[in-house]
Amino acid sequence: MELLVFVAASAMVLGGALGVILMRNPVHSALGLVLTLFGVAVHFVALEAHFLAAVQVIVYAGAIVVLFLFVIMLLGVDSAEDLKVDGLTIQRPLAAIIGIGTVAIVSVAVLRTRSTIAAGPALEASGDSNIRLLSRNLFSDQVLAFEITSVLLIVAVAGTVLLTRKQSGPTGARKGS
C-alpha cells in the first residue's frame, strides 16, 4: 500500500515537474506546478506530516499557483513561448549536463550514505501529535523567527503594492489609503 502511494505520488510530482519545464504555454506550466505540489502534499501525508500537507495544499497550491495564474492572465502573456528559438545554443546541453550532474552526484551521495541515513522504513504512526509537536517547537525554540516572518509579510505586501502601482506624477504622488 505504502509502495503504491509512493509510486503514484512520485509520478504526480515528476510528471508535473516535467510539465513545468516542457510546456510551451505558461498556463500549462502553472498547471503542471499544481500537479507537483499536490504530489508533494500526498508525500507529506504518507510521511505523517499532516499539518504541512494541509499548508502545502492551501498555501502553495491554493494561493501561490493562483497568484501565478492571475499574473499570467493579467499580463496576457499566455501566448506560447517558442522553445525552438534559443539565443544561446550552448545553454540547452549545458543545462542538461548540470541537471543530470546534480541528480547523479546527489543520488550517489544519498546511496552511499544510505546505511547511516535510513536503515528501516521511514514511516511510523504518530497519532495526531504532529501539529502539537510542530507548534511546541514553533513557539518555543523558533518563536523569534516566527514573529519576524510577520514583519517580512507586511513589508513584502507594502513594497509590492508600490512596485506595481502606476506612478501618477513626476514626483512620488501622495499615496492614498
Partner 1 sequence: MLAAIEPTTTWYLLLGAVLFGLGSVGLLVRRNPLVMFMSIELMLNAVNISFVALAVRFGDISGQTAVFFVMVVAAAEVVVGLGIIVSIMRRRPGATADDLAELKG
Partner 2 sequence: MIFAGSQSVIAQINQWVAPTIDWHALAPELVLIVGINLVLFIDLSLGAAKKWAMATLTGLVFLAAFIPVVTLAVIGDASREMFDGRYVVDGYSLILKAIFLLAAYVLVLMSQNELEEGGYYQGEFYVLMMCSVLGMVMMTSARDLIAIFVALELLSIPAYMMAAWRKRDSRSNEAGVKYYLLGVFASAVLLYGMSFLYGTTGSTKLTDIGASLVDGDLLGLQVLAVVFVLGGLAFKISAVPFHSWAPDTYEGAPTPVTAFLSVASKAAGFVALMSIVMLALAPANSVVRPMLWVLAALTMTVGNVMALRQTNIVRMLAYSSVSQGGFILMPLVVIGTGNAGDSVLRAVIVYLLIYAFMNLGAFSIVIAVARRTRSGEITSFGGLFGYAPGLAVLMTIFMASLAGIPPLGGWIAKFNVFKTVLDAGDTAAYVLALIGAVNTVIAAAYYMRVLRQVWMAPAPDGDVSPIKVPSSIQAALAITAVGTVLLGVLPGLVLRFGDITDLTGALAR
* Binders in 149-168 for partner 2, by CB under 8 A: 149, 151-152, 154-156, 158-160, 162-163, 167
Residues in the chain, how many?
Answer: 177
**Residue 98 belongs to what H/E stretch?**
helix 91-112
Which member of 8, 59, 73, 173 binds partner 1 (CB under 8 A)?
Answer: 59
Question: Could you say whether residue 168 binds partner 1 (CB under 8 A)?
Answer: no
Question: Could you say whether residue 87 binds partner 2 (CB under 8 A)?
Answer: no
Question: Could you say whether residue 141 binds partner 2 (CB under 8 A)?
Answer: yes
DSSP character at residue 128: T
Q: Sketch the per residue contact string, 137 through 156, with partner 1: x for CB under 8 A, - otherwise.
A: xx--xx--xx--x--xx--x
Give the contacts of 163 (CB within 8 A, at least 6 positions apart): none
Question: Could you say whether residue 144 binds partner 2 (CB under 8 A)?
Answer: yes
Query: Measured between alpha carbons, how far is 80 from 85 in angstroms, rounded to an integer?
Result: 12
Q: Sketch the per residue contact string, 2 through 41, with partner 1: x for CB under 8 A, - otherwise.
A: xx--x---x--xx--xx-xx----x--xx--x--xx--x-
How many whole angstroms from its chain centre is CA 121?
26
Question: Could you say whether residue 21 binds partner 2 (CB under 8 A)?
Answer: no
Minimum CB distance to partner 2 smaller for 8 or for 67: 67
Let me know: does 60 contact 42? Beta carbons within 8 Å: no
C-beta atoms surrounding 12 within 10 Å = 20
